[in-house]
Amino acid sequence: MAVSWWRREWTWWLIAFVIIAAVGGALGPEWFASLTALTFGAWLVAVLFRARLGMRPIVAASAAVVAVLVLAQLVPYGRSHTNPPVLAEPAWDSPATRALAVRACFDCHSNETSWPWYTNIAPASWVTQNHVDEGRERLNYSEFGSGRFEADDSAETVREGEMPLRDYTLIHSAARLTDAERQQLIDGLNATFGH
């Protein structure tokens, strides 16, 4: 009887893990890592609840998910939400290019990041902070000319569909560019950076 329960419980957790990992993988590596870690943590807590408190499987799983999500809020990463001053921007070829870059790029690649309410809740706070930290490190339109940035490659990353990121455009509808807008941004970035 105990073996049957254990096998059944493992099966449900494995199914949940596969589904959450697939969703996280579709959204990107940061989401995959965050959701996988939270799912594994919830599984460990559920096993502990079942073993120590004798909870029923669904009650233990529900309590474990809530406990892990509450504990995740204690992780300080992802809540700094700093926007340093704008030091210098590129000499944009046109206001239209800048407007498209603001829509599709500035939240991660400038010091003018918008921090919506969900950026205060883990795991979204972790993923958002990671995107902003990496984005500003690679290319920061607000600190243009100070240091080595990958501005020359920006049009290529837009052309290849690498930017803006898929998980970003799922939440930020304004960043979803039409084919014409995407081409206009590519042309504008090439003109701005001399390609």
Please state the domain count of the chain. 2
Please indicate, yes or no, whether residues 106 and 174 belong to a single structural domain of this protein.
yes
Is the CB of residue 185 less than 8 Å from the CB of residue 101? yes
Domain range enclosing 27? 2-72
Q: pLDDT tens digit string along 100-125?
A: 999 999 999 999 999 999 999 988 89
The domain boundary, picked from 72, 104, 131, lies at 72
pLDDT category at 72 given cuts 50, 70, 90 is confident
High-pLDDT (> 70) share of the chain, %: 88
Query: What per-residue confidence (pLDDT) applies to 63?
Result: 83
Does the residue 141 lie in any domain? yes
Please indicate, yes or no, whether residues 34 and 109 belong to a single structural domain of this protein.
no
* Residue from 186, 172, 162 nearest 106 by CA: 172
- The 3-class secondary structure across the chain, one letter per residue, is CHHHHHHHHHHHHHHHHHHHHHHHHHHCHHHHHHHHHHHHHHHHHHHHHHHHHCCCHHHHHHHHHHHHHHHHCCCCCCCCCCCCCCCECCCCCCHHHHHHHHHHCHHHHCCCCCCCHHHHCCCHHHHHHHHHHHHHHHCCCCECCCCCCCHHHHHHHHHCCCCCCHHHHHHCHHHCCCHHHHHHHHHHHHHHCCC
The domain boundary, picked from 72, 104, 126, lies at 72
Please indicate, yes or no, whether residues 6 and 44 belong to a single structural domain of this protein.
yes
Which has more confidence, 107 or 75?
Answer: 107
Please indicate, yes or no, whether residues 172 and 101 belong to a single structural domain of this protein.
yes
Please indicate, yes or no, whether residues 109 and 23 belong to a single structural domain of this protein.
no
- pTM reported for the whole predicted model: 0.75
CA–CA separation, 15 vs 125, rounded Å? 26
Does the residue 77 lie in any domain? no
